[in-house]
């Protein structure tokens, strides 16, 4: 594993890379308020399967410095930043995989770029239909210092982990998630609630796979299916007993992702 601080999009960002530089590249994006640590088990195992795995902390997250203008509320800004990272690292036809806001960002990157091998968007649709409440999230921004905020993050994470995830694993996921910066995560969720890709998805040209857990309380499975239907040739998978964080909830997720990527890249773009 190589870890570097790279200047990307005007900010100093922490980026992990696993695997050989000449291997097929995969860019892995984290969820709202979190960091690349969500991929800590998947990235090295996926690299061992023959990929070059790139795991950044988005601006303001984890070990990356803040975005130049402070917390980001437009997921399109993150998508542009990912494109700059792809260019900075010289990634040739990468696959982009993301979860939650990372999934939406991955779709946005795929709309904006004609040079991806594939996109896998987990726990993401084209538009949330105003869920969660934008006005409620804006109120959250004035309440980010509340002592109970980390408890709300912990309990909220447990609520959207799937029923088939062992309790010990679910509690570890929730414990890791409570480390988030409330101002950053709330801004991320504002981006999640307002980002609308419905009209843009038909322009997506690379092979695409949308994935949703049937225990994901953040998403309506039918909205995810509808988003996939707007992308030419896209696939949609509903994971039984899984919630909002497939890469953390599913043991040996590297094998699952490898299967998806192999199927996608076998289809002519």
* Mean pLDDT taken over the chain: 92
Lowest mean pLDDT among 48-62, 87-101, 122-136: 122-136
Give the model's pLDDT for residue 128.
79
Can you read off the two tokens belonging to residue 21? 């530089």
Give the model's pLDDT for residue 190.
93
Distances 248 to 37, 91, 133 between C-alpha atoms, Å: 10, 25, 26
Give the model's pLDDT for residue 182.
87
Q: Which of 198, 217, 216, 207 is nearest to 263 (CA)?
A: 207
Give the model's pLDDT for residue 153.
87
pLDDT tens figures, 3-50: 999 999 999 999 999 999 999 999 999 999 999 999 999 999 999 999
DSSP letter for each residue of 35-84: -GGGGTTHHHHHHHTT-EEEEEPPTTSTTSPPPTTSS---HHHHHHHHHH
* pLDDT at 207 > cutoff 70: yes
Give the model's pLDDT for residue 130.
56
* pLDDT at 143 > cutoff 60: no
Q: What phi and psi values does residue 149 have, to the nearest 5 degrees?
A: -60, -45
Q: Which residues are CB-contacts of 59 (< 8 A; sequence separation ≥ 6)?
A: 9, 11, 13, 65, 66, 67, 72, 78, 81
Q: Which residues are CB-contacts of 134 (< 8 A; sequence separation ≥ 6)?
A: 190, 193, 194
Neighbour order of strands in the sheet with 235-239:
2-8, 11-18, 52-56, 25-29, 95-99, 118-122, 208-213, 235-239
Q: Is 189 exposed, middle or buried (0-12, 13-18, 19+ CB in 10 A)?
A: buried
Place of tokens 């509903």: 238
């Amino acid at each position: 594993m190589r870890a570097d601080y790279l200047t990307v999009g005007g900010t100093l960002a922490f980026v992990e890379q696993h695997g050989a530089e000449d291997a097929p590249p995969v860019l892995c994006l984290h969820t709202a308020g979190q960091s690349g640590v969500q991929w800590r088990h998947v990235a090295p195992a996926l690299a061992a399967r023959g990929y070059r795995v790139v795991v950044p902390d988005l601006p303001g997250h984890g070990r990356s410095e803040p975005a130049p203008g402070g917390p980001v509320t437009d997921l399109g800004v993150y998508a542009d930043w990912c494109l700059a990272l792809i260019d900075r690292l010289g990634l040739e036809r990468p696959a982009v995989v993301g979860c939650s806001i990372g999934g939406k960002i991955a779709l946005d990157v795929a709309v904006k770029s004609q040079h991806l091998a594939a996109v896998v968007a987990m726990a993401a649709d084209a538009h949330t239909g105003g869920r969660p409440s934008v006005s409620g999230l804006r109120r959250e921004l004035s309440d980010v210092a509340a002592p109970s905020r980390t408890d709300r993050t912990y309990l909220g994470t447990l609520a959207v982990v799937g029923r088939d995830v062992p309790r010990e694993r679910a509690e570890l996921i929730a414990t890791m998630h409570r480390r988030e910066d409330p101002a950053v995560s709330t801004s991320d969720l504002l981006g999640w609630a307002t980002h609308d890709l419905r009209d843009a998805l038909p322009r997506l040209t690379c092979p695409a796979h949308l994935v949703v857990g049937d225990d994901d309380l953040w998403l309506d499975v039918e909205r995810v299916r509808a988003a996939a239907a707007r992308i030419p040739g896209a696939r949609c998978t509903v994971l039984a007993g899984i919630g909002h964080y497939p890469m953390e909830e599913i043991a040996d997720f590297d094998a699952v992702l490898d299967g998806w990527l192999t199927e996608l890249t076998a289809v002519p773009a």
